[in-house]
Amino acid sequence: METLQAHGDLFARVFLVLVATVTILYLKRLLLTPLRRCASAASSSSPPSLPCPRGLPLIGNLHQLGAVPHDALAALSARHAAPLMLLRLGSVPTLVVSTADALRAAFQPNDRAMSGRPALCAATRITYGLQDIVFSHPDGAFWRAARRASLSELLSAPRVRGFRDVREGEAASLVAATADMSRTGTPVNLSEKLMATSNKILRRVAFGDDSGERSIEAGTVLDETQYLLGAFFVSDYMPWLGWLDTLRGLRRRLERNFHELDAFYEKVIDDHLNKRAGSKGEDLVDVLLRLLGDPAYRSTFNSRDQIKGILTDMFIAGTDTAAATVEWTMTELINHPDILAKAQQEVRGVVVDDGDIVRESDLPRLKYLKQVIRESMRVHPPVPLLVPRETIEPCTVYGCEIPAGTRVFVNAKAIGQDPDAWGPDAARFVPERHEEIADLSDHKPWHDSFSLVPFGVGRRSCPGVHFATSVVELLLANLLFCFDWRVPHGGQVDLEQEIGLTVHRKNPLVLIAERRCVK
């Protein structure tokens, strides 16, 4: 869910490299002084200021983001001993937060000031002019109403529980398909299977797509939406060069995708309006249509475009992230056979049914599994820079003034590796470090923490935690319960990352599954 992250775009890269090269030749001298403070002059009387690693003309610090921006930013912050630093990305002033203490200092007193989102090019178009939850302005009545609806209606605990059959059904299909492959010893592309399963769950929950009839149609359109929301639009960083996005064909792709998505939603909404009387259960479209007629929401929540914007949120925010979490967790487990064995022992000891499959009613007893998931999200947060923020008013951090309109990146990955928060072994995968959390089923700790923030922080943090953890725990528990796993040719699995909307493994996770004997 991070727009900087699609650095596979050749044209933009060539352009940036050209600008950087020319600038380096002319301004070599400047590079010899790599760090300055942002305030005018660092005298004893000048106000305190944050470190600002020196950038280049025009592009500022863009070239320092490298191929994996969250890792490059973590390295930059460590190099300058700067838990908080100010960069200029193109023409955009950007605050980067890289430790738990810095996050607390920046957000605890300034939650409101930090709660804006930048109006990024693709997001603005796809969400009908920011009429959604993820990207809308926090000061508008609409965001408050939509956020309230997401917490009390769309993603509330009872609503999430109500979709249990969908999750269990899709988990059973995943197990069945994997069992087929295990019979012939065919390696399983887990990355692909997890993505398909997570997609299917979201489509069924959001659109009631039980038959899979709409899956192909929705799949291709939403895949393109996902790509575009993660693409690097030059205009998001250097607005005066926005014409480059047109030259690169990105604007045309965006328009086409917007219209395809719109046509798809219109059809889904019309179908729901037609079938409503007497149909069983509510999917998310039904809920949104009901809210549209609800007097409590009428003044702010009153158009089809808002329904469509929120549906895109649910799909984009919910699919990739859950799949990536299970993918990274399985990666770490396969690389740590002792932890894998311990997690399997727990799930196999706890599931009391006829031994066929894990049900959601089994999950509360899987304490170690929950520790494993927390540890995985610490080491591999699926959205490592969260969704970008923007200050909506000036605020002060460590005594330094941060102006309104500053973009804010919270480096959740760097924070998860912060030795002051996690100790000298922060780089190691040790699920037991979460043992002390009394109730791992309680989702509050995710939102109260400043040291473990895969779901974000403060008033814009993820309202989908409950939904996400239900999917992740069920899929993972079933993979561990039903199969033994090994790498096809032995050895360790690599940890290379593919940068996109959400960070997945670069190389798919392909493993051999052996179906465990069941009675």
Residues that bind ligand HEM (CB under 6 A): 133-134, 147, 150, 155, 313-314, 317-318, 321-322, 325, 382-383, 386-387, 454-457, 460-464, 467-468
Closest distance of CB 107 from ligand HEM, Å: 9
How many Cβ atoms are within 10 Å of 22's Cβ, its own excluded? 13
- Residue nearer to ligand HEM on the CB measure, 16 or 387: 387
- Residue nearer to ligand HEM on the CB measure, 250 or 392: 392
* Cβ–Cβ under 8 Å, residues 437 and 370: no
* Cβ–Cβ under 8 Å, residues 96 and 106: no
Q: In the numeric block, which tokens belong to residue 320? A: 């990739």
- Residue nearer to ligand HEM on the CB measure, 160 or 234: 160
Closest distance of CB 366 from ligand HEM, Å: 17
- Residue nearer to ligand HEM on the CB measure, 59 or 89: 89
Burial of 87 (0-12, 13-18, 19+ CB in 10 A): buried
The three-class DSSP label of residue 474 is helix
Closest distance of CB 314 from ligand HEM, Å: 4
Q: In the numeric block, which tokens belong to residue 457? A: 């922080």
* Cβ–Cβ under 8 Å, residues 502 and 383: yes
Element (H, E) at 188: strand 188-189
482 known member of a binding site: no
- Residue nearer to ligand HEM on the CB measure, 63 or 380: 380
- Residue nearer to ligand HEM on the CB measure, 238 or 322: 322
Closest distance of CB 149 from ligand HEM, Å: 10
- Residue nearer to ligand HEM on the CB measure, 16 or 479: 479
Phi/psi of residue 118, each to 5°?
A: -70, 145
* Cβ–Cβ under 8 Å, residues 250 and 231: yes
Closest distance of CB 160 from ligand HEM, Å: 9
Q: What is the side-by-side order of every strand in the sheet holding 188-189?
A: 188-189, 510-515, 483-486
- Residue nearer to ligand HEM on the CB measure, 229 or 322: 322
Closest distance of CB 14 from ligand HEM, Å: 31
Q: What is the side-by-side order of every strand in the sheet holding 92-97?
A: 84-89, 92-97, 407-410, 389-390
The three-class DSSP label of residue 187 is coil
Question: What does the angle CA 201 – CA 203 – CA 209 come to, to the nearest 5 degrees?
Answer: 105
Closest distance of CB 179 from ligand HEM, Å: 26
Nearest to 310 by CA among 134, 460, 145: 134
Rg over alpha carbons for the chain, rounded to the nearest Å, is 23
Pairing mode of beta strands 188-189, 510-515: antiparallel
Closest distance of CB 180 from ligand HEM, Å: 27
Nearest to 469 by CA among 397, 366, 379: 366
Rounded Cα distance between 485 and 511, Å, is: 7
Closest distance of CB 202 from ligand HEM, Å: 7
Rounded Cα distance between 249 and 245, Å, is: 6
Rounded Cα distance between 101 and 494, Å, is: 31
- Residue nearer to ligand HEM on the CB measure, 215 or 461: 461
Phi/psi of residue 396, each to 5°?
A: -120, 130
Closest distance of CB 175 from ligand HEM, Å: 21
Q: In the numeric block, which tokens belong to residue 133? A: 């939850």
- Residue nearer to ligand HEM on the CB measure, 245 or 390: 390
DSSP 242-300: THHHHHTTHHHHHHHHHHHHHHHHHHHHHHHHHH-TT--S--HHHHHHHHHT-TTTTTT
The three state secondary structure string of 153-207 is: HHCCHHHHHHCHHHHHHHHHHHHHHHHHHHHHCCCEEHHHHHHHHHHHHHHHHHH
The three-class DSSP label of residue 306 is helix
Closest distance of CB 446 from ligand HEM, Å: 9
The answer to whether the Cα torsion of 118, 68, 87, 423 is positive or negative is positive
- Residue nearer to ligand HEM on the CB measure, 234 or 268: 268
Q: Which residues are annotated as a binding site?
A: 462
Q: Which residues are annotated as a binding site for heme?
A: 462
